[in-house]
Amino acid sequence: MNLTVAEAVKLDQSSPENQVARPGTRIKIVEDAVDVLEAGSGDLVIQKVSIIADATGAFAFTAKYAMELIDVKVVSTATSGSGTATVRRATTAMTDAIIMAAADVITRAASIIQAAKAITLGESLNVITNGANDRGIVYLYGIRS
């Protein structure tokens, strides 16, 4: 679920600490081509990529932000015994194969290739899965550059 502007403002104003830290403003979730909030340099941004069909041949997506990739998490939406998801630039892996094997389980990348962590706005990336039935949501976390 995406955070709305009204929800972000409410979160920002919910306590004196939040008025200073502004967590609602800093949390950005991007789904498909919808930018939820305007992000500035240095802000945390999150891009959501939904794997809803066979991605053994790679599911392509476009980077919505210029960012330094700092984490990748996967939420499995189906059970697929040897399921994995790997974030790639063309055919070069940016992460390890992240487990995506049991429905409703959250896993994260054990490694991010340091030479590949810089992502440019509009860059073409992809997620490749191990099996045709691997399904899940891949969240890319980054610091906007």
Question: Would you list the domain boundaries of the chain?
Answer: 1-37, 39-144
Q: Which residues of 98-120 are buried (b: 16+ CB within 10 A; e: fewer)?
A: bbbbeeeeebebeebbeebeebe
Q: What is the DSSP letter of 12?
A: H
Tokens of 63: 């980077």
Higher pLDDT, 105 or 20: 105
Domain 39-144: CATH class, spelled out: mainly beta
Helix (H, G, I), strand (E, B) or coil at 20: helix
C-alpha to C-alpha distance for 129 and 119, rounded to whole angstroms? 21
Is the confidence at residue 34, as pLDDT, over 50?
Answer: no
Tens digit of pLDDT for each residue in 92-142?
A: 999 999 999 999 999 999 999 999 999 999 999 999 999 999 999 999 999
